[in-house]
Amino acid sequence: MCPHKHICAGGYRAGEYNRVMSVSSKVVVVDIECTCWAARDDIPSEIIELGVCVFDGSTGNLGRKASFLVRPDRLDISEYCTRLTGLTVDRLAREGRPLVEILNRVRKLYAIKNGVWAGWGSGDRIHMARETSSKGIGNPFGGDYLDIGFLYRLHSRSRRRVGLEDALWTLDMDFEGRPHSGADDAWNAARILRRLTGWC
């Protein structure tokens, strides 16, 4: 029996979670990192990393996490952004690929067009839709979206948005990896999804 059964119970499980899981038992958990500046908001942010981890709701297994580096159109990575994400101009210039190429690759690898994808909160979903639209790129994330942060708030009966690290702490779980790494954030969000749905 799951020692965290109290977490697994609640109306959300028979509602939003079951609705999206009826589409597919596998959930592609995504986290994106974007260009950012400490004191500027006049430059549009661009995706520089796409992190992915697949959660299999039928077995509770987590797939291997993956990181896809994106070379932005404006290769301007601030020191603040580097401190936050660990990504540098040199590395993105050397290893990053154009966003359209990365999204095509992710589409083929994870077959997510009509499947279920998830993330922590709605911010990444909104940014992905906005950036792909502004660049005239097809958005591969067109299926049902599962907001893991929202599920967490329902289980904790909280009206306040909670960050990924704080949620892990309240669930007595350690953060595995490096915060603000797309792959590690996706992995930890998937771990929370696994916990909230009864797999321990």
Domain with residue 129: its CATH number is: 3.30.420.10
For 105-164, how does the pLDDT look when each residue is reduced to its tens digit (9 = 90+)? 999 998 765 568 899 999 999 999 999 999 999 988 877 888 999 989 888 887 788 899
Number of independent structural domains in the chain: 1
The more confidently predicted of residues 169 and 40 is 169
pTM of the shown model: 0.87
pLDDT per residue as tens digits for the range 141-153: 877 888 999 989 8
The tokens describing 196, both together, are 């909230």
Model confidence over 82-96: pLDDT tens digits? 999 999 999 999 999
- Residue 11 lies in domain: 5-196
